[in-house]
Structure 1
Amino acid sequence: MRGRAAGLVVAVLSGVALAMSSTSAQATTDGPDVIAHRGSSGMAPENTAAAIDLAVRQRADHVEIDVQRTKDGKLVNFHDCTMERTTNIEDLYPDRPRYRVSDFTWNELRQLDAGSWFHDKYTGEPLITLDTVIHHIQHTRTGLLA
């Protein structure tokens, strides 16, 4: 069943990426596409709403994101295998044996700070779901690559 669920997630994400990118393809010009890796991750904390919104304001053709499933089945925008590098997870949950997205519920993960590691002005920036990413790029010229 685990393989079927993963296959379903890949199929859904592929469909979302195709649908989102086809709407922005009409707005592109000749030349290479500008793809914002994990949002505008050089100027805002990666895979956060701040990075996605900045990429849209910078008129990126697409944002590239990473998606993982939480313990309770929510699809979260997060890249690394573990969460220590870009969140305060060790401070909030010091006694947990592992720090993988799949080991936590969405309610636990939504309490994390995913911004202060990048810069003080992003302190309190939360993790976001795939639904949130889609909401942030809807009605923009920016497509989605997942």
Structure 2
Amino acid sequence: MPLSKPLPPAVTVSPSVEAFLTDTQHVAAFTTVRPDGSLHVAPVRFTWDAADGLARVMTVISSRKARNVLAAPGGRVALCQVQDFTWVTLEGTATVVADPGRIALGAKRYARRYWSAPPNPPGRVVVEITVDRVLSLNA
């Protein structure tokens, strides 16, 4: 019997989807589930790391999105980036991470994508989304 669960297979995306997720500075709608089962949708900036199959959202531990993820470990979330009639949705499970090294990596990737450092308020964390499903149209 294995001691740990195997990692899910890495998600692969087409070059056009990769470009849409990395070469643009758009925001996405980040959907989480509140403890009462209702949906919470918030506009966010995010980064996509194809090598690790991770999307990252910088936020603070007290935000509604972080609290929703903490309330349902292993729960499903979605990020949807839209531009005109092109969209890509990244779905997966989310984890709130407070590790300084991983926050720094998230901030570095954010700065590279958005050409400026993310805010650095007290309680900053990174929500890491292990993407296992990608949906798209015209990308």
More strand by share: 2
Say whether the fold is shared (TM-score over 0.5): no
- Report the structure number with the largest CA radius of gyration: 1
Shorter-chain TM band: under 0.3
Q: Structure 1 length normalisation: TM-score?
A: 0.26
More helix by share: 1
